[in-house]
């Protein structure tokens, strides 16, 4: 989360009290750039991993373990098994969702 001004920093300045130095402007520029970067970072989409585990797929699709198992058994959702872990390709999940779209 981005840093916000404190109440003390937010106090009003009378028109006869304003003295701005080059250092003040430089500091303001740095603070402004920092705030802009922070806002841009918040807007940047999160990177999706290529391979997802079962719990991630269940959260993504908002389905139960049983439903996920059914999708595996009937061949709707391709998966890869390594050892005791099941992995699902993100692109395959997107294809299944796009195919089911009406």
pLDDT tens-digit readout, 8-57:
555 666 666 778 899 999 999 999 999 999 888 887 777 778 999 999 99
Residue listed under structure tokens 């098994």: 81
User: What is the CA angle 19-24-28, rounded to 5?
Assistant: 125
- Percent with pLDDT over 90 in the chain: 60
Assessment of whether the complete model's pTM goes beyond 0.75: no
């Amino acid at each position: 989360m981005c840093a916000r001004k404190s109440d003390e920093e937010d106090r009003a300045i009378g028109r006869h009290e304003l003295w701005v130095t080059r250092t003040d402007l430089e500091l303001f520029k740095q603070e402004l750039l920092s705030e802009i970067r922070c806002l841009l970072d918040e807007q940047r989409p999160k990177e999706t991993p290529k391979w997802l585990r079962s719990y991630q797929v269940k959260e993504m699709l908002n389905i139960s373990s049983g439903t996920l198992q059914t999708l595996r058994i009937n061949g709707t959702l391709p998966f890869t098994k390594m050892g005791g872990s099941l992995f699902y390709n993100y692109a395959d999940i997107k294809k299944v969702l796009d195919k089911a779209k009406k």
